[in-house]
Amino acid sequence: MFVINPYSNYRYRALAFSGVRTFDGVATGGAKVCSVVACTGDTINTCGKRFAKYLTNSTGVFDELRISAEVPTPVIDSDVYAENTVYFPVSLDINIMPLKTEEYTYTATVLSNSTNVYVFDLNTKANELYAVGIWGREYTTDGEEVTPPLDDKDSSFMHKVSVTLLIISIIFMYFV
């Protein structure tokens, strides 16, 4: 029987962010993220960190995983002849390497003149994942003030909402 040890097994959180972040204090830029990330503890500040010593079977196993982001359709900035927003699939395994392209599918669909949908699907059963998601760069908010972080009370509430939505999605997938 596999028992989860809270001091040596990763927990996963669904995370989302849309705002402005700092690039090491040198500049700021817009970012949009929808992801699942490994955490070493129960609070948001433990996410994206690794245990000091690697232990086999410390990561979760994902039989299926789909991340979908419905966002405004990028607009062409005529000054630079480029889109104001761009989205990419992102992933990181225990070796700090991205997944191989055959391990996932990434699609972009234009729903309307105002909405695009980006979908990241795992193609195979996956373990040893630290992070997976969709990362977007929003150029129109470059140079703005950094979006302040949520306090842990807010993130705890959002974690409960995320877990509830995840459970509802899983139930919906299996029974519909």
What string of H, E and C letters represents the secondary structure of the chain? Answer: CCCCCCCCCCEEEEEEEEEEEEECCCEEEEEEEEEEEEECCCCHHHECCCCCCCCCCCCCEECCCEEEEEEECCCEECCCCEECEEEEEEEEECCCCCCCHHHEEEEEEECCCCEEEEEEEECCCEECEEEEEEEEEEHHHCCCCCCCCCCHHHHHHHHHHHHHHHHHHHHHHHHC
Distances (CA, A) of 55 to 14, 58, 94, 103, 129: 23, 6, 11, 23, 13
Provide the residue range defining the domain that includes 79.
Answer: 11-149
151-160: average pLDDT? 56
Percent of the chain's residues with pLDDT above 70: 81
How many angstroms from the chain centroid is the CA of residue 93? 13
Between 162 and 141, the more confident residue is 141
Give the residue with greater pLDDT, 157 vs 42: 42
Tell whether 34 is covered by a domain: yes
Averaged pLDDT for residues 68-94: 90
The pLDDT of residue 167:
60
pLDDT of residue 171: 58
Q: Which pTM was predicted?
A: 0.78
Q: What pLDDT, on a 0 to 100 scale, did the predictor assign at position 76?
A: 87
Kindly state whether residue 46 falls inside one of the protein's structural domains: yes
Residue 40 inside a domain? The answer is yes
Which pLDDT does position 8 carry in this prediction? 82
Residue 160 has pLDDT above 80, yes or no: no
The answer to whether position 160 is within a domain reads no
127-151 pLDDT, tens digit each: 889 999 999 999 999 999 999 987 6
The answer to whether position 140 is within a domain reads: yes
**Does residue 37 fall inside a structural domain?**
yes
Asked if the structure places residue 65 within a domain, the reply is: yes
* Amino acid 136: pLDDT: 94
Number of domains making up the chain = 1
- Per-residue pLDDT for 110 more than 60? yes
Task: Please state, for a pLDDT cut of 90, what percent of the chain lies above it.
Answer: 53
Is 7's pLDDT higher than 60? Answer: yes
Statement: residue 2 has pLDDT above 80: no
